[in-house]
Amino acid sequence: MRDNDSATDTLGIALRDGRPAGPPSGPASGPAPGRSPARTAHRASRRSVRDSPAVGTALAVLGVAAFSLTFPGTVWALEGFGPWTVTAARGVLAGLIAGGCLAALRVPAPERRHWPGLLTVAAGVVLGFPLLTTLALRTSTASHAAVVVGLLPLTTAVFATVRTRSRHSRLFWAAALAGAAAVCLFALTRGGGGLGTGDAYLAAGLLVCAAGYTEGGRLARGMPGWQVTAWALVACLPLTVPWLAVASAREPAVLTGHAVAGLLWLAVGSQFLGLVVWYRGMGVIGVARAGQFQLAQPLLTLVWAVLLLGEELDPAAPLTAAAVLVCIAVTQRADGPAAAPSARKPHAVGRRGPAGRSG
């Protein structure tokens, strides 16, 4: 009887404290309270699948597919809007979508150490590349621009090499120079023996976009890829909103179906969703490996230019694009297969050493 009373008292104390009755307190030997072993294993399994190379590859391919429609979408948008209006409007629309997502999910502001990289993404990918390529497409065809921008994976690899201070073989640089020569030859012959203003805009766009891609891929290894895109877009709103107001007042607009559809795709598809999956893919499989899939972007854009814009394809364009693809593929494989990056680092989490102490 005494034993039963003791057990009852123990149960009563446990219920009053809000904890189930159990053995005396001591070092935890099982999973944390409220987490079953099955739930913990399920979460670990989901995280492993989410960070797998197959998922990263699929996301990178989706990003390339979205980007391949950027130039045709820009040509459509320019049918009804000026270049400065197109650039500002796509930034504002994408920024409002990104800000709404961040607010709905109550995402805290990034750490101070992330802001230099985010501002680089904003300057290169949100503002610089869209503006420069839009200005170029006033005088260049989408197929011409696609071939020139075929150097973007190579340019990004060079920026990533400098950023990480890695080294490459002679074969890498030989293929890189061959690809650059093919693109320059195409631009010269298509431009009547000289580089045009559009080619200068495209060359500048390559540089700023490569810098933005490199920083975005690096940041995506420490924070979710969609947040990299979202914060870069939101950071530009104080500039893009007044920019849009001034540009729309100075540039006449004609609301055609093509113009509206092109602008919406640039904002939602290329500027937001495309960058979300692209940065996530780079964060999983690495900048260099993800860049390999972007080699197909010029070829896809050439197809879209014929199907959507009715452009006549110069026989030199696909040949040059194929040559660039081969050259850049060699650069990616010259030093052996790229290793996938390690899993994303946890935020401010210390390691647990023996006896539960922080190490």
Q: What is the DSSP string of 265-302?
A: IIIIIIIIIIHHHHHHHHHHH-HHHHHHHGGGHHHHHH
| 260-273: average pLDDT | 95
Say which DSSP state 343 is in.
P
The percentage of residues in the chain with a pLDDT greater than 70, rounded to a whole number, is 75
Q: How far is the C-alpha of 251 from the C-alpha of 255, rounded, in Å?
A: 13
* From 115-124, 136-145, 146-155, 187-196, the region with the lowest mean pLDDT: 187-196
Q: State residue 358 phi and psi, 5-degree precision.
A: -70, 135
How far apart are the two ends of the chain, measured CA to CA in Å?
A: 49
Burial of residue 330 (number of CB atoms within 10 Å: 0-12, 13-18, 19+): middle
Please check whether residue 125 is in contact with residue 209, taking contact to mean a CB–CB distance below 8 angstroms.
yes
3-state secondary structure of 69: coil
Kindly compute the dihedral angle of the four CA atoms of residues 266, 269, 274, 275, in this order, to the nearest 10 degrees: 50
For residue 9, pLDDT over 50 is answered with no
Q: Return the domain boundaries, the chain.
A: 53-333
| 263-290: average pLDDT | 88
Q: Tens digit of pLDDT for each residue in 132-154?
A: 999 999 888 888 888 888 788 78
Distance, CA of 343 to chain centre? 17
Q: How far is the C-alpha of 304 from the C-alpha of 69, rounded, in Å?
A: 7
Mean model confidence pLDDT for the chain: 79
Q: How far is the C-alpha of 118 from the C-alpha of 222, rounded, in Å?
A: 12
Q: Residue 6's pLDDT is what? A: 46
Q: How far is the C-alpha of 266 from the C-alpha of 264, rounded, in Å?
A: 5
If we measure between CA atoms, which residue out of 243, 261, 279 comes closest to residue 92?
243
Q: Residue 12's pLDDT is what? A: 42
Two structure tokens written together for 165: 């201070």
Higher pLDDT, 184 or 340: 184
Q: How far is the C-alpha of 118 from the C-alpha of 91, rounded, in Å?
A: 15
Q: Which of 44-58, 87-101, 271-285, 310-324: highest mean pLDDT? A: 87-101
Q: Residue 220's pLDDT is what? A: 85
Q: How far is the C-alpha of 206 from the C-alpha of 213, rounded, in Å?
A: 10
Q: How far is the C-alpha of 323 from the C-alpha of 183, rounded, in Å?
A: 9
Two structure tokens written together for 64: 């390339």
For residue 340, pLDDT over 60 is answered with no
Please check whether residue 141 is in contact with residue 266, taking contact to mean a CB–CB distance below 8 angstroms.
no
Kindly compute the dihedral angle of the four CA atoms of residues 262, 264, 266, 272, in this order, to the nearest 10 degrees: -160
Amino acid at position 178, single letter? A
Q: Residue 39's pLDDT is what? A: 54
Q: Residue 298's pLDDT is what? A: 82
For residue 214, pLDDT over 60 is answered with yes
Say which DSSP state 180 is in.
H
If we measure between CA atoms, which residue out of 62, 64, 126 comes closest to residue 98?
126
